[in-house]
Amino acid sequence: MSTFPTLLMVNAFIGTAGYKKLYLELGYSVVSEWSERKAISLIRKAPPVVIVADFYHQSDFRDRLSNLESLLATAQASPGTKILVFYEPAHQSVLDAVRTRLRIDAALTLPVQEDLLRTTLQTWLAGKPE
């Protein structure tokens, strides 16, 4: 009996949730989480094959650059997990700074081009090198 690979959607906003139908179509088992803390717990218990998360920066963050640094740091311990983030083009420089310290396998600007999202996820599902 085969199981579907797990895709964890971490929804800070609505960017990731809008593609749930596509994720299911491609053959992923989708788990949704709105709380970063709960998502971190899920990653520690059973690392998903893919994490899709909304990335953003707010100037009032005290000790970090983005909303995802704790989650990304946790995911680093699971090299088999692919990390995809959706971000606003205005946050490109912050994303670049975070990527110098933490692995992000792919980043797509909002609004996401669905064909690019599909291709990325299909490639990962097939286990093809990028």
Is 95 in contact with 55 (CB distance < 8 Å)?
Answer: yes
Domain limits, the chain: 6-126
Question: Which residues are within 8 A (CB) of 60 and not within 5 positions of it... i.e. 6 or more apart?
Answer: none
Classify domain 6-126 at the CATH superfamily level.
Answer: Response regulator (3.40.50.2300)
Q: Which tokens is 9 given?
A: 């959607």
**Residue ranges in the chain modelled with pLDDT below 50:** 1
pLDDT of residue 7: 96
C-alpha to C-alpha distances, 74 to 17, 23, 40, 70, nearest whole angstrom: 22, 23, 7, 6
DSSP string for residues in 22-74: HHHHTTPEEEEES-HHHHHHHHHHS--SEEEEEE---TT-SS-SSTTHHHHHH
pLDDT tens for 69-93 read 889 999 999 999 999 999 999 989 9
pLDDT of residue 11: 81
